[in-house]
Amino acid sequence: MDDQERDIIDNIGGLITEERDLRNRSTRETGLTEDEKSRLRTVEIRLDQCWDLLRQRRALSEYGEDPSAARIRPADEVEGYQG
């Protein structure tokens, strides 16, 4: 695992923590503010993109190609991807 992959994994960890926190707040009586709902949606999209980027890097590496060639794809391309 190289530094870039570690950074992606660290970013995923931070996003998961934030997502969990927002989801926990959403189950309370007060629910989420509109800003928090928007942030949750952004976090979900960013998580999809990070996981996709990590999969791309690992696939490139597995086939002897340069993992740094992996790029973040648009949200509509990776959102809800079932791997």
Report the Cα–Cα distance between both ends of the chain, in Å, rounded: 21
C-beta of residue 30 within 8 angstroms of C-beta of residue 36: no
pLDDT, tens digit, 9 for 90 and up, residues 42-68: 999 999 999 999 999 999 999 999 999
Output the pTM of the full model: 0.87
Per-chain mean pLDDT for the chain: 91
C-beta of residue 18 within 8 angstroms of C-beta of residue 46: no
